[in-house]
Structure 1
């Protein structure tokens, strides 16, 4: 089954800047008396006591030692007293060295080795100045510029480079820590170099097929809607009805392409909290909620799908995976085969490919990139080495915990409840689970909770529609609902909302976000039609939100724990100077 992605650009932000090249000289190998368990080091960085960046020369084709030589860059971070080494790749596939500071903070007790994959960043990069993934002719032109040598910028060759760096540093074995596409490198390395693999930690798995090729995922998946579905027992049916509605009665503020683009954002707190309820409300004649989410998504910054660096990504993505077309067929025939697949299988249902924008991702782009060499990342039907293995899988990730467990039945599975992609870089409990595994892989944790919100079941239109809160005055309940709706938009995980400096209130008024002062100002904001709320909310470093508001003409103060999955929420404050404590349902 085809699994492609429409969000490849999302992982690019902040990762494309490449640091200046570094240099390192070689030193003679150690004398023969060195321990036979440790390869003789041949690089100056082997003697380093602090971070050392260097290069080695490797053959373009590892099956032909006499082939063209290319340079591969790496960073070696030795740690005092460390007895093990982690070989890490942050995914993409993108330049790995720009991620070194983050990887150093995450892997903070073991020696750390980061090897720049060939064709990217500082490692003999492939580059096509006019490359634009939205223009197929530039992909074909780039493939022509790269030529036949592009066949060797793939994972099977890159992991051989990584092992060559390991040997040059005299490191006997490594634990491979791979994130996202880095898990392809990790699986390939472990299968091809089992004798130098001490363990494997996979975060956000990209699995491989039995024939050894990678499976490219679909990141817009309606089945994941069920994770936050409280307003309907069948959210997929709700969304199918919503797609039909927008086909029959187009909405100028929500195109089907925009609607499709909302699905990959389910792991973000605002969208996970509101998307199902907004879809249900739209079908019931209340379109404001879904339009608000669509407007925020439209304003969110995106990484352009153009630039010379995409040449390296194309080489890996197109060479490492199999798609529903013949790898040896010319581009025109590939296009026909892919279109037939879309027409018969409808992998984006309830959307069509045209409704999703006409391009679903790497399958469409790779139509134009030749892949004549047989180069599965993992040798077909290869066994994974008998070493400790753990996989972190977020509920909202491309491949869910259940799918991961089926692929690695003998490895430990860490379910990151409410988590998305690349959890060890963003979720504290997942990062601690990684560190525990690296320190002692015997029995890592089985789950950790990344949730910072509770999904909304429905959106009220008036104060009378708000939930009961132990007889609490409706103006207080309305003030809290309005304030909570504003605060979730500053949730640290709400990437699409964080760039917004202001936003219209749901049913009127305006929200102004001052992140420098950690405050939100409300100007006659109407979360419900009949109660206008004004004032200011302050966000404390401890996650507490406090508010001084005017709601329906009454003075209201509120204090509650924000960014926690509580329902009901413990709230204290005052109404007209009279203190209260209450538990208010979400």
Structure 2
């Protein structure tokens, strides 16, 4: 990977290392077939087979969990999902399942890192990782979409790449919703021999954990939700992030004594160049490198005053760092899951594609300057994940519990966030807080996305340890 000298502190290399939010040695074997996402058919208790030391981390044991292709039972076939776990099967507080981000990220390359981060709780918990379907070595492959989007949520794909991906996945594309993963998780719980499991999710993993708790409250012990996506789903217009940018840049500027107004500089560049999507994408990726956005703030000011070269170099380096193959983050799985789960200006996945564009145009025309902050309406309605689902084929929406149902007080929940996070802005954390009966909230100043894994401060990790080791 080539680093541009003007891009400062190894932007591209650091961003490449920050793509994943997750852990351990797992992989899935995808197969075509329609999705159900409904309740599993009754049958023998699932088991983990083929246990052996994980190839990338001998301290973890890897095994295979066999799950139905279609949890409704309408279509035959199975998937083999790899599971990794620490060796303390009789841990006093049971099993702690770590859930990755994305959707689409594998666990295998990050097992050692996450296990090390959670070391203080391992005497009390067995740490378990499940490779969610369609990720890792046997990821869903959509080469053109992968090349265009990489690991980015926000880079707009072409309609041709989206159509090619949908055609390549065929009817099986409906098989990769969060409802399917939730059903897989409950089979994992049964295979572990556990009555209840605790879940530690990061980013998209928080959404999966919340949906598991809604579907199976009696089998959920506690939740750690780090960098929260609310259980009602993400906003495809990303308005909370657009509105958070001035606050985040002001705090970053104060921390580094920048002496400029970065939000005003950003607004000027967007107004001049009409490149709001590119700049939001750059900001959202750059937080993994530097939650103070130091070089980016400088580059924005230079560009606003007529010298865009530095900013162009930073944008190019960030875009280069977002390149990822499907084994690192499957753009096909990412799109299939979000389009199946999401609520868009046109409705859900069962809305006919021919009527979606008009609904998106109407949503664009309703947006005000207050809605989009220093950006513009074209930014909010031009984001990659939104446009990918605009032309995605019509699908039946999987059945799942009502997302407005509160997570009951029998399940303690820790909501963890960084005040510099633009990937999952703090407004989302507070949205989820209102839907949790027993919520503890910890916001770490100066931290960005994935507090447990990436924050410089130990405050968030200490809060996780105290929460998990408490009564």
Alignment partners' CA distance in 2, 1:291 and 1:47: 53
1:405 to 430, 448, 451: 430
User: Aligned in 2, Cα 1:390/1:271: closer, same or farther, shift over 3 Å?
Assistant: closer
| Maintained 8 Å contact 2:28/2:133 | no
Alignment partners' CA distance in 2, 1:274 and 1:17: 30
2:131 to 116, 119, 135: 116
Q: How does 1:518-533 map to 2 (within 5 A)?
A: none
| Maintained 8 Å contact 1:11/1:92 | no
The reply to whether residue 59 of structure 1 matches residue 74 of structure 2 is no
The reply to whether residue 317 of structure 1 matches residue 332 of structure 2 is no
SS of residue matched to 1:82: coil
The reply to whether residue 431 of structure 1 matches residue 461 of structure 2 is yes
Aligned to 2:11: none
| Maintained 8 Å contact 1:401/1:413 | no
The reply to whether residue 155 of structure 1 matches residue 178 of structure 2 is yes
- CA shift at 1:377, angstroms? 5.4
Deviations 1:170-197 (A, max 9, x none): 1222110000000111001111111111
Q: How does 1:389-404 map to 2 (within 5 A)?
A: 389-398=413-422, 399-401=424-426, 403-404=428-429
- CA shift at 1:148, angstroms? 2.4
Alignment partners' CA distance in 2, 1:312 and 1:55: 20
| Maintained 8 Å contact 1:153/1:316 | yes
SS of residue matched to 1:202: strand
2:351 to 317, 329, 340: 329
| Maintained 8 Å contact 1:267/1:396 | no
Alignment partners' CA distance in 2, 1:364 and 1:126: 19
Question: What is the number of equivalent residue pairs in this alignment?
Answer: 402
2:211 to 166, 181, 188: 188
Alignment partners' CA distance in 1, 2:385 and 2:23: 23
SS of residue matched to 2:140: coil
SS of residue matched to 1:57: strand
| Maintained 8 Å contact 2:215/2:400 | no
Aligned to 1:415: 443
- CA shift at 1:130, angstroms? 4.1
SS of residue matched to 1:381: coil
Task: Using structure 2 for the length normalisation, give the TM-score.
Answer: 0.72
| Structure with higher helix content | 2
Alignment partners' CA distance in 2, 1:298 and 1:337: 33
Deviations 1:509-551 (A, max 9, x none): xxxxxxxxxxxxxxxxxxxxxxxxxxxxxxxxxxxxxxxxxxx
Alignment partners' CA distance in 1, 2:49 and 2:324: 39
| Maintained 8 Å contact 1:97/1:115 | no
Alignment partners' CA distance in 2, 1:391 and 1:146: 35
| Maintained 8 Å contact 2:166/2:393 | yes
Aligned to 2:83: 74
Aligned to 1:343: 365
SS of residue matched to 1:157: helix
| Maintained 8 Å contact 1:267/1:419 | no
SS of residue matched to 1:222: helix
| Structure with higher strand content | 1
Alignment partners' CA distance in 1, 2:277 and 2:175: 36
Task: Using structure 1 for the length normalisation, give the TM-score.
Answer: 0.59
| Maintained 8 Å contact 1:45/1:52 | no
Alignment partners' CA distance in 2, 1:402 and 1:21: 33
The reply to whether residue 201 of structure 1 matches residue 210 of structure 2 is no
Alignment partners' CA distance in 2, 1:262 and 1:157: 32
More deviation in 182-191 or 225-234?
A: 225-234
User: Aligned in 2, Cα 1:45/1:153: closer, same or farther, shift over 3 Å?
Assistant: same
- CA shift at 1:229, angstroms? 4.8
- CA shift at 1:95, angstroms? 1.9
Unaligned runs of 5+ in 1: 1-9, 24-38, 443-586
- CA shift at 1:274, angstroms? 6.0
SS of residue matched to 1:51: strand
2:267 to 217, 240, 247: 240
- CA shift at 1:72, angstroms? 2.2
Q: How does 1:386-535 map to 2 (within 5 A)?
A: 386-398=410-422, 399-401=424-426, 403-409=428-434, 410-427=438-455, 428-440=458-470
Alignment partners' CA distance in 1, 2:375 and 2:45: 57
Alignment partners' CA distance in 1, 2:217 and 2:400: 14
The higher-RCO structure (CA 8 Å, 6+ apart) is 2
More deviation in 417-426 or 168-177?
A: 168-177
- CA shift at 1:415, angstroms? 0.5
SS of residue matched to 2:362: helix
1:298 to 316, 319, 342: 316
User: Aligned in 2, Cα 1:158/1:330: closer, same or farther, shift over 3 Å?
Assistant: same
Alignment partners' CA distance in 2, 1:125 and 1:256: 31
Unaligned runs of 5+ in 2: 1-14, 30-43, 149-156
SS of residue matched to 2:351: coil
User: Aligned in 2, Cα 1:47/1:82: closer, same or farther, shift over 3 Å?
Assistant: farther
| Maintained 8 Å contact 1:394/1:416 | yes
| Maintained 8 Å contact 1:22/1:54 | no
